[in-house]
Amino acid sequence: MKKIIILFLFVAFGSLNAMAEPISNHAQRTLIVYFSQPEEVKLEGVDGVSGASILQKNNQILGSTQYLAQVIQRHTGGELFRIETVIAYPTQHEPLLRYAEQELRDNRHPELKAKIDNLADYDRIFIGYSIWWYKMPMPVYSFLQQHDLSGKILIPFTSHGGSRFSDSLREIKRLQPDAQLITQGLAISREDVADESTVTRVSDWLNQLANVQQ
């Protein structure tokens, strides 16, 4: 009988714990990691213009993915981390295309400037990047290989030139099999990033995510 009572208490507390979990979700410690390589494109000086992978917003020139990361940061209160490489990428469009193609062909994973040491402080990690040649940019591969994101909730977002997430979700799953990958990521065309509606789209998406996770 005693055993049964103990078992019962176990189950009861266990389910209480499970019920309490969504509440703790609100206090999830959030990190927003992104890789953004703005290209040198002439923007016409008016606000809210976007070019190849760059945009002008409130008189600031930002990478498209960088801008998305900032909007997500404002909504979630998370911390930002920019993936940067030791050797800088070309800033002109065609040279960048060629450089990325060669890097892909050689399967080179570029060295990163910095590593995140306090990963234990975060439960939820947004990861943003553009798509280069139907793949994640190589620096994102470097990042995923150098960090162990097991047990974390991974949420992808991209400002793309048409290919949306391409094969990147599959690749993230392959590189971080023990992370919980959210497949309803945010994919916004780089043409639309500068639109006013982007901010609403981001907050709608974040609300949807909160519903999915609960």
Partner 1 sequence: MRKKYQCQVMLDVVMVSILLSLMGFHLWSEYVHEWLGAVFFLMVVLHVSWNIHWIQALFQGEYSTFRILQLSINVLLMLLFLSAAISGIMLSRHILPNFIMHNSSDLVRKIHMTSIHWGLVVIALHLGVHWKMLANFFCKIWHISPDSVLVRRILPALLGMVSGYGLYAFIHRGILPYLLLQVDFAFFDFEESKLLVYWDFFAIMMFGAYLTRYLIWLTIFRPQ
List residues binding partner 1 (CB under 8 A).
93-94, 97-98, 101, 105, 131, 134, 160-167, 169-170, 183
| Residue 125: CB minimum distance to partner 1, A | 21
Report the residue number, 83 or 100, with the smaller CB distance to partner 1: 100
| Residue 20: CB minimum distance to partner 1, A | 33
| Residue 88: CB minimum distance to partner 1, A | 21
**What contacts 24+ positions apart, CB below 8 Å, involve 140-146?**
140/35, 140/83, 140/168, 141/109, 141/171, 141/175, 142/83, 142/85, 142/109, 142/110, 142/111, 142/112, 143/33, 143/35, 143/83, 143/112, 144/172, 144/175, 144/176, 145/109, 145/175, 146/112, 146/115
Report the residue number, 84 or 171, with the smaller CB distance to partner 1: 171
d(CA 183, CA 169): 7
Report the residue number, 98 or 115, with the smaller CB distance to partner 1: 98
| Residue 102: CB minimum distance to partner 1, A | 10
Report the residue number, 3 or 105, with the smaller CB distance to partner 1: 105
